[in-house]
A and B are shown apart, each in its own frame.
Chain A
Amino acid sequence: MAHVLAVNPVPARSQMGSSLGFHIILACFGIAFAAVIMTAEWIGIRRGDATALLLARRWSKVMAVLVAVGAVSGTVLSYEMGLLWPGLMGRFGAAIGFPFSMEGIFFFLEAIFVGVYLYGWRRMPPWAHWWSGMPIVVSGVLGALSVVAANSWMNSPAGYTLSHGKITNVDPVSVFFNASTPYETAHMVLAAYMVTGFLIAGVYAAGLLRGRRDRYHRLGFAIPFTLAGIAAPLQVMMGDIIARFIAHNQPVKFAAMEYVSKTTSDVPEWLGGIFINGHVYLGAAIPAFDSILVGFSPHTRVIGWQSVPPAQRPPLVTLIHLSFDLMVGIGFFLLALAAWQGWWWWFHRRLLMTPWFLVPSALSGVAAVAAMESGWVVTEVGRQPWIVYRVLLVSTAVTPSSGVTVTLGVILALYAILTVVSIGVPMVMSRRWRQGTPAEEETEQVPYGPSPARAGASPAAPPAGRALPRSSGGPDAP
């Protein structure tokens, strides 16, 4: 497998990038949705708030659908690691496999407890049920930590001994906790909370804009928006810290992010701009600011990509730079949005209802997804041409098998369908909640959840619930 040269890795890279780019959006829900739901349930139980409980129960059904699609796309990824990159897995599977094994445990747990949580709604006392959701929150975060640690290892390989190109010893702990792990995992978990929070909040913001200003919509907006809003400032800070770490750990990647071709001091910070033949067009430069960001002084020397031979420089510097700028720009935009609402709440204890706030809020989820995707483009394209940084080339790792162009086409088509499913199913569900009868909602079937046949008692005979004060407005779904 190693000796076949001149395989074109572009179809394989495109396939890997598109399946990961798809999976990661669902993964965000796997990591953070449970926390949003449990916040709603907590409010519901604590204050006897029926609206919050209803939101939690409906959200849990949406979560089940998304987790199911995430599991399918994740299974495909496991195949792809081998189908597309046998040269990586054959050589380094013994090292990079460990974090993936840990991931397996956590996603197993997550799948089981999503089932427990869905079954538990009317089979467990309220607080016991709330606690049964806790393992989903914890294993979501730990699972993300494990799988991102695998990616970090590709950026900062550590914990193995090579002799004659074969791994002879492995230290699983150093593999898992490599130099990049703390940065990447913290940034990714925060990103997951932002993506999930802003996307859900955006749905309810759209409802508020259409005049559905009842308590159901306000609460459905406020809970996820608050969680995402807390993550936003932390994320910007974390990003700043990571950028400095990258300047030190992967200087050539950093050079591509910031258009630094020659190693000098007083390096300007480019905002936007297209790099063609040594010139930056259409960009604005802040003099010496890049040096200041990296070392807090204009005299800081920043390493340029000309420090390595052309074959070791990442391709598509314009893509890398613009993706980075987009991520940073959106990061500040979302931070401003969260700060505005935070300010308003501080002084007025109300949600902002002006379209000037609601329209950007409705779009905030899409923006967060764009930021996350472009962040991954920076990380992954910036690592090129290495699959394992400074150790293994992508072109050596790619499969020599023919047929990747075919699988690429099929994957693109299938993921288009999966996208329709993951957006369409929750939409159909919400329409049914708005228009259907309560009995229909009670017997709705979702993956992981109880089927109507097993649900037992007839939904037509509601047991006497506890007193439910405090709610107002209609429970119309968006």
Chain B
Amino acid sequence: MSPSPEAIAVAAILFVVIAAYALLGGADLGGGIWDLLAGSTERGAVPRRLIDDSITPVWEANHVWLVFILVLLWTAFPLAFAAIMTALFVPLSLSALGIVLRGVGFAFRHTAEKLRMRRLAGATFAAASLITPFFMGTVVGAIATGHVPVHPHGNVLGAWTSLTAILTGFLFVAACAYISAVYLVLEARQRGHHEMTRYFALRATAAGLVTGALAGGTFAALSSSAPRLFGRLTGISLPLVAISIAAGTAVLVMLWLRWYRAVPLRVTAAVAVAAVVWGWGLAQYPYLLPTSLSLAVGSAPTATLVAEFVVTGLAVLLVVPGFGLLYFLQQRRVLTAAESDADLRLAARLEPATSGQPAAAAAPLGIRMTTALVLAILAIRAIRDVFSRPDRR
């Protein structure tokens, strides 16, 4: 039985979203990792500040990608979702823990007043940035090596503690640090901060090399732990794997040559990550859980898949213009003539205080109140009509 075209299409959407999360969420998590590694409070102040400035505006929107992955999975591939959530209960809970701790640390560190609290919040934020990608990596490793049964009777500890899964966990951490450092190079450059440009270029190179080494290690481990996947990675997925290696190398060369061009560098680094994600997806086809649950068996009914398609289209239609507007505003530095908070405070305070409450003008308000009353009565009647007599349904 081969999978329906709708199922393949939704699976493709799923992998686009996963790649988006790997890039955007990854850069975000990676920022936290560099924050962790930035050293003492004094020494790390400058890089921390840069990290903060570049991830603050986006950090939260990145959750949406993750949520979208979960929702797509449970709607379109419910059996696989239930199996993964049961068998990998532990690492998934830990990655969720990381997300909450990040949120706490993030919300609090800007407002905390004492240095000690601020440090604690910062440390929580940074440590959580390590936990989340690591355990997500072990989840992916466990799925890819086919250790998630379709009907697990409980946690499957062996699935995510295998050598391959642990290596994948480290690979995820390194990849986050890598993609984030590349973006931070560009952020620093855009702000004309030469020292920081160098600082992150060095780290991006190091992270790139570590990521490459870990990828090689994982690949080697796969040859024995998941022969089918390995076979397809070196078969049908080989072009994607090759593109990823080439792009990764190209980024290292650009950094070495100090050719910090925003678009080429960003795109090449993104390609290096996205190509691996898609390579994995293609290698796993046609299985949701290799090799016990196939796409054909594990997909939701066609109507649901079509609905997910429509939802995705709607999301693109609505969200893209919104993002455009936000980006436009973020780039816009000229402020309009609107009052600053300071002006407002002045204006509100400088006025001579009138004694007691100013009584509002009675006549128009009376009319307004009457209108409001009439409207309320109309609303009540409308609700009554819509909801009247449940027993008639």
A interface residues with partner B (beta carbon < 8 Å): 1-4, 50-51, 53-54, 57, 65, 68-69, 71-76, 78-79, 81-83, 86-87, 89-95, 97-98, 100-102, 104-105, 107-109, 111-113, 115-116, 119-126, 129, 132, 135, 167-172, 179, 182-183, 186, 214-216, 218, 230, 233-234, 237-238, 241, 244-245, 247-249, 345-346, 348-351, 399-403, 407, 410, 414, 417-418, 421-422, 424-425, 428-429, 438-439, 441-442, 445-451, 453-454, 456-457, 459, 462-466, 468-475
Name which of B59-67, B160-168, B176-184, B220-228 contacts chain A.
B59-67
Q: Does B5 contact A (CB under 8 A)?
A: no
Q: Does B123 contact A (CB under 8 A)?
A: no
Q: Which of B74, B383, B393 has the most CB of A within 10 A?
A: B74
**Pick from B84, B106, B333: contact of A454, CB under 8 Å:** B333
**Chain A residues within an 8 Å CB radius of B90:** 403
Q: Does B111 contact A (CB under 8 A)?
A: yes
- Which chain B residue lies CB-closest to A108? B64
Tell me the minimal C-beta distance from A71 to chain B in angstroms: 6
What DSSP secondary structure best describes chain B's contact surface?
Answer: helix
Query: Is the pair A456, B64 in contact by a Cβ cutoff of 8 Å?
Result: no
**Chain B residues within an 8 Å CB radius of A132:** 325
**Chain A residues within an 8 Å CB radius of B52:** 451
Query: Is the pair A463, B379 in contact by a Cβ cutoff of 8 Å?
Result: no
- Which chain A residue lies CB-closest to B319? A108
**Chain B residues within an 8 Å CB radius of A89:** 74, 78, 81-82, 85
Tell me the minimal C-beta distance from B286 to chain A in angstroms: 19
Tell me the minimal C-beta distance from B383 to chain A in angstroms: 7
Query: Is the pair A93, B345 in contact by a Cβ cutoff of 8 Å?
Result: no
**Chain B residues within an 8 Å CB radius of A2:** 151
Given contacts A119-B329, A167-B300, A454-B53, contact A472 B343 (CB under 8 A): no
Contact residues on B (Cβ < 8 Å of other chain), bracket: 35 or more
Q: Chain B, 59-92, contact with A by CB distance < 8 Å: what is the 0/1 string?
A: 1110110111011101110110111111101101
**Pick from B60, B85, B353, B393: contact of A179, CB under 8 Å:** B393
Tell me the minimal C-beta distance from A445 to chain B in angstroms: 5
Q: How far is the CA of A67 from the CA of B388 in the complex (A)?
A: 36
Tell me the minimal C-beta distance from A45 to chain B in angstroms: 10
Q: Which of B61, B72, B96, B372 has the most CB of A within 10 A?
A: B96
**Chain B residues within an 8 Å CB radius of A403:** 89-90, 93, 155
Query: Is the pair B341, A94 in contact by a Cβ cutoff of 8 Å?
Result: no
Q: How far is the CA of A68 from the CA of B106 in the complex (A)?
A: 9
Q: Does B116 contact A (CB under 8 A)?
A: no
Q: Which of B59, B107, B152, B155 has the most CB of A within 10 A?
A: B107
Q: Does B339 contact A (CB under 8 A)?
A: yes
Query: Is the pair A94, B393 in contact by a Cβ cutoff of 8 Å?
Result: no
Q: Does B344 contact A (CB under 8 A)?
A: yes
B interface residues with partner A (beta carbon < 8 Å): 49, 52-53, 56-57, 59-61, 63-64, 66-68, 70-72, 74-76, 78-79, 81-87, 89-90, 92-93, 96-97, 99-104, 106-108, 110-113, 151-155, 191, 300-301, 303-304, 307-308, 311, 314-315, 318-319, 322-323, 325-326, 329-330, 332-349, 351-354, 357-360, 362, 365, 369, 372, 376, 379-380, 383-384, 386-388, 390-391, 393
Given contacts A93-B78, A122-B335, A179-B393, contact A428 B113 (CB under 8 A): yes
Query: Is the pair B339, A465 in contact by a Cβ cutoff of 8 Å?
Result: yes
Query: Is the pair A72, B99 in contact by a Cβ cutoff of 8 Å?
Result: yes
Query: Is the pair B357, A474 in contact by a Cβ cutoff of 8 Å?
Result: no
Query: Is the pair A237, B78 in contact by a Cβ cutoff of 8 Å?
Result: no
Query: Is the pair A107, B64 in contact by a Cβ cutoff of 8 Å?
Result: yes
